[in-house]
């Protein structure tokens, strides 16, 4: 979350400077600068995700060194999930909290001719964004780990595409539906990347007892009981 | 006990003392000759005031008590194990501290957002005599800097006074001061707070009920804080009084002065804890020399370790030494009349690390980490001010919150690395201030413009 915030800070700094240096009155230029600012922000977010990956990798190595059995207590996949989730949460919260607060207060949605579905579509978009960040985190970390750079490029491209689709926004059919389709695809991709498969789902649903107790213990940050 | 540290100071001063992170463990014992010696050394070390939180105490002691094969071998393996345990417990401690800090901030932010009283300007404290109602920017800046200088010097004087009192063993004085402070906090401020909350929600309450509630709240609080009580209850009370103090600060400090004071306090904290002649450091060392637990009061501890069968007779018993340093009551101005009382608010200084000399059991027991209450207060002041004055509303508050927590994480990491008392304020407050100003001025227009077009990034 901290890393996402720093990336947002830098992106706003760039946007702010560019706005101040440009002509305030020209609406088209301002809109163009906004698009530019959003694109820069997306690129910075991904860059900071990469930086976070590097940091976690170092920490992972350190933890593995000092632990008893040579493995770190948290696997890289769990870290990827957590990192994606935290990016998603902070991004979603920043996008939606002011809207939520306004939605409590008295008012009429869309009284000036905007869409009356503003709140509900914001809610859906935020949900999609949170899920997307989580999936991107998993895919991104896995791609960095296995050095599949085309995956990285694809993640960045879909992020840009998603952000760009929101620019079509009052036309919700064109923006919401593709975004949800992208979310589903990313979800499937992340699931496969994390090692899931159809058989795993079946096994999970049939409630077979797995030998996963050690994973649970590690993920709860507990010291295994020493004898 | 050593109440003077926190009590005799003005609110600021105790804040300083409180603004240190204490470790609940003793530093690793270097000598492992044999079990007995190691355990004794461990005891002595446990009594040392550790300001950073961490816990490998039992580890040391258990290492020492294990029948030794070779001393060097044992030392190296124990060092490894210690490090590993430190890091493992480090993560746990971070989480153990996140929860109370978050709770305190939530209480403060919720109150600020709902109760009008704490955002109204109703006069200033006696410590910040210069008003900020001046027309020119330069004059305002100058006034706020002067206010800060006065506040910080009051704190310094109080801290030095406290250290002197402690050196000359005026325990009764400190004790009395502490009790007076906590009395004021628990009764008067709670009464004002409750009154304002009831006013906001338009709930009627008769005086007998009010008296009953406040009396019970205050009496149980005094017992929990100054004597014995369930750990959770004591933690809850400490969080509540920190929140109350933070609210008082938010209300009565003028705008710019508050930010400058926050910055100055973190610098002071850094110097007071790390410089060899710093008052807080001298306090720690004196307490270590005397083998006493330092400032059991006014330190939030996340776990209690009951010392069983203490070998040393002069080890202060745990229970009564749990003094909370409450800010010396200052006769804070009543919200009805802007008169300034001149009583001292003594802040509870960060309680010295608890004597973790649990020899027998408690190998894998909860080792606590201690954080001074002043840290709680100033973190909450920062987040509360962000909530009160930022026009970007919740984004700024959230950004400051994340920044402070990350700062706390980093401080705890440094604690695990350095294993000595560290100030908890500087990193967090720096991050918080940077994020506040940048989010308020840079991020807010960006996010607002994006949201108005319903764009997502």
- Higher pLDDT residue, B430 or B25? B430
State the pLDDT at residue B367. 59
- Confirm if B422 and B415 have CB atoms less than 8 A apart: yes
- Higher pLDDT residue, B329 or B396? B396
Task: Give whole-number Cα distances, B149 to A75, B262, B417, in Å.
Answer: 50, 12, 34
Residue at B172 is within a domain: yes
Residue of chain A nearest B79, judged by CA positions: A66
State the pLDDT at residue B133. 79
- Reply yes or no on whether the pLDDT at B19 is more than 60: no
Confidence of residue B265 (pLDDT cuts 50, 70, 90): very high
> β-pairing, B299-301 with B369-372?
antiparallel
State the pLDDT at residue B210. 93
Question: Alpha-carbon distance B188 to A30, whole Å?
Answer: 54
- Reply yes or no on whether the pLDDT at A144 is more than 90: no
Residue at B233 is within a domain: yes
- Residues B247-270 have a mean pLDDT of 89
Note whether B455 contacts A166, CB cutoff 8 Å. Answer: yes
Beta bridge partners of B21: B371, B422
Average pLDDT, chain A: 81
Confidence of residue B198 (pLDDT cuts 50, 70, 90): very high
Ranges B96-105, B387-396, B426-435: which has the least confidence: B387-396
Exposure pattern of B298-311 as b/e (b: 16+ CB <10 Å)?
bbbbbbbbebeebe
Confidence of residue A13 (pLDDT cuts 50, 70, 90): confident
- Higher pLDDT residue, A39 or B335? A39
Contacts of A37 in chain B (CB under 8 A): 446
Chain B nearest-CA distance from A35, in A, is: 9
Ranges A103-107, A210-214, B50-54, B221-225: which has the least confidence: B50-54
Instruction: Report H helices in chain A.
Output: 2-21, 27-66, 76-104, 118-146, 149-165, 172-193, 198-205, 213-219
State the pLDDT at residue B363. 39
Ranges A145-154, A177-186, A206-215, B62-71: which has the least confidence: B62-71
- Reply yes or no on whether the pLDDT at B188 is more than 50: yes
Residue A9 touches partner B, C-beta closer than 8 Å: yes
Residue B87 touches partner A, C-beta closer than 8 Å: yes
Which candidate in A63, A66, A82 is best for mutational testing of the B interface (most B CBs within 10 A)? A66
> Of B424, B264, B416, nearest to B349 (Cα)?
B424
Question: Alpha-carbon distance B211 to B202, whole Å?
Answer: 18
Residue at B245 is within a domain: yes
Residue at B317 is within a domain: no
Residue numbers of the domain that contains B221: 97-301+370-453
> Of B331, B325, B371, nearest to B346 (Cα)?
B325
Note whether A221 contacts B95, CB cutoff 8 Å. Answer: yes
Residue B393 touches partner A, C-beta closer than 8 Å: yes
Q: Which A-chain residues 95-114 have CB contacts (< 8 A) with chain B?
A: 95, 97-99, 101
- Residues B248-277 have a mean pLDDT of 88
The tally of domains found in chain B comes to 1
- The answer for residues whose C-beta is within 8 angstroms of residue B371's C-beta and 6 or more apart is B21, B22, B53, B97, B100, B101, B299, B300, B350, B424
Confidence of residue B441 (pLDDT cuts 50, 70, 90): confident
Which candidate in A12, A16, A220 is best for mutational testing of the B interface (most B CBs within 10 A)? A12
- Reply yes or no on whether the pLDDT at B181 is more than 60: yes
Ranges A73-77, A176-180, A203-207, B357-361: which has the least confidence: B357-361
Residues of B identified as active-site = 269, 375
Confidence of residue B220 (pLDDT cuts 50, 70, 90): very high
Confidence of residue B361 (pLDDT cuts 50, 70, 90): very low
Residue at B85 is within a domain: no
Contacts of B392 in chain A (CB under 8 A): 98
Residue of chain B nearest A14, judged by CA positions: B442
For A224, the token pair is 């295994």
Q: Which member of A12, A122, A223 has the closest CB to residue B364?
A: A223
Chain A nearest-CA distance from B394, in A, is: 7
Neighbour tally for A166: CB within 10 Å:
22
Q: What is the pTM of this model?
A: 0.74
Exposure pattern of B251-280 as b/e (b: 16+ CB <10 Å)?
bbbbebbbbbbbebbbebbbbbbbeeebbb
- Reply yes or no on whether the pLDDT at B80 is more than 80: no
């Amino acid at each position: 979350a901290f890393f996402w915030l720093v990336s947002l800070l830098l992106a706003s700094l760039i946007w702010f400077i560019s706005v101040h240096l440009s002509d305030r009155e020209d609406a088209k230029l301002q809109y163009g600068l906004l698009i530019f600012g959003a694109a820069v922000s997306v690129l910075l977010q991904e860059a900071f995700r990469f930086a976070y990956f590097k940091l976690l990798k170092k920490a992972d190595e350190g933890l593995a060194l000092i632990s008893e059995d040579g493995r770190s207590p948290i696997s890289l996949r769990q870290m990827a999930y957590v990192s994606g989730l935290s990016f998603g949460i902070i991004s979603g919260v920043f996008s939606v909290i002011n809207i939520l607060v306004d939605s409590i207060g008295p008012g009429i949605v869309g009284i000036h001719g905007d869409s009356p579905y503003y709140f509900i579509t914001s809610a859906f978009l935020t949900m999609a964004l949170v899920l997307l960040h989580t999936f991107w985190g998993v895919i991104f970390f896995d791609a960095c780990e296995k050095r599949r750079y085309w995956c990285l490029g694809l993640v960045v491209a879909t992020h840009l595409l998603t952000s760009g689709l929101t620019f079509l926004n009052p036309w919700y059919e064109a923006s919401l539906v593709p975004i949800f389709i992208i979310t589903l695809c990313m979800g499937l991709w992340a699931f496969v990347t994390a090692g899931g498969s159809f058989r795993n789902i079946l096994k999970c649903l049939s409630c077979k007892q797995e030998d996963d107790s050690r994973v649970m213990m590690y993920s709860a940050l507990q010291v295994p009981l020493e004898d | 006990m050593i109440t003077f540290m926190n009590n005799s100071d003005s609110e600021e001063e105790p804040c300083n003392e409180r603004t240190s992170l204490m470790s609940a463990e003793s530093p690793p014992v270097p000598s492992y000759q044999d079990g007995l010696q190691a355990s004794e050394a461990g005891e002595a070390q446990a009594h040392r005031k550790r300001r950073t939180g961490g816990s490998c105490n039992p580890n040391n002691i258990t290492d020492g008590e294990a029948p030794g094969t070779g001393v060097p071998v044992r030392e190296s393996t124990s060092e490894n194990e210690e490090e590993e345990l430190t890091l493992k417990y480090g993560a746990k401690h971070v989480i153990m501290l996140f929860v109370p800090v978050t709770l305190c901030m939530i209480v403060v932010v919720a109150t600020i957002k709902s109760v009008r009283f704490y955002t109204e300007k109703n006069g200033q404290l006696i410590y910040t005599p210069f008003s900020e109602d001046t027309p020119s920017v330069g004059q305002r800046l100058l006034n706020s800097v002067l206010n800060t200088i006065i506040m910080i010097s009051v704190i310094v004087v109080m801290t030095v006074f406290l250290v002197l009192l402690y050196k000359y063993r005026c325990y009764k004085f400190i004790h009395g001061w502490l009790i007076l402070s906590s009395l004021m906090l628990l009764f008067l401020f709670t009464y004002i707070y409750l009154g304002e909350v009831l006013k906001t929600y338009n709930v009627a309450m008769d005086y007998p009920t009010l008296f009953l509630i406040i009396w019970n709240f205050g009496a149980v609080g005094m017992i929990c804080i100054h004597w014995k009580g369930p750990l959770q209850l004591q933690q809850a009370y400490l969080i509540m009084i920190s929140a109350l103090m933070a609210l008082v600060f938010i209300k009565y400090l003028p705008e710019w002065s508050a930010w400058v004071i926050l910055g100055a306090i973190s610098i002071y904290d850094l110097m007071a804890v790390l410089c060899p002649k710093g008052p807080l450091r001298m306090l720690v060392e004196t307490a270590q020399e005397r083998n006493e637990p330092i400032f059991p009061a006014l330190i939030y501890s996340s776990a209690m370790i009951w010392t069983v069968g203490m070998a040393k007779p002069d080890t202060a018993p745990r229970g009564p030494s749990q003094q909370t340093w409450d800010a010396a009551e200052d006769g804070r101005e009543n919200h009805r009349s802007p008169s300034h009382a001149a009583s001292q608010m003594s802040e509870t200084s960060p309680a010295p690390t608890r004597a973790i000399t649990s020899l027998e059991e408690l190998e894998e027991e909860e080792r606590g980490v201690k954080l001074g209450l002043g840290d709680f207060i100033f973190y909450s002041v920062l987040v509360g001010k962000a909530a009160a004055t930022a026009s970007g509303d919740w984004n700024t508050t959230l950004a400051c919150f994340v920044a402070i927590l990350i700062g706390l994480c980093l401080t705890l990491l440094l604690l695990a690395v350095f294993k000595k008392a560290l100030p908890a304020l500087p990193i967090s407050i720096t991050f918080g201030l940077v994020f506040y100003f940048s989010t308020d001025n840079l991020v807010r227009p960006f996010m607002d413009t994006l949201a108005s077009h319903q764009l997502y990034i």
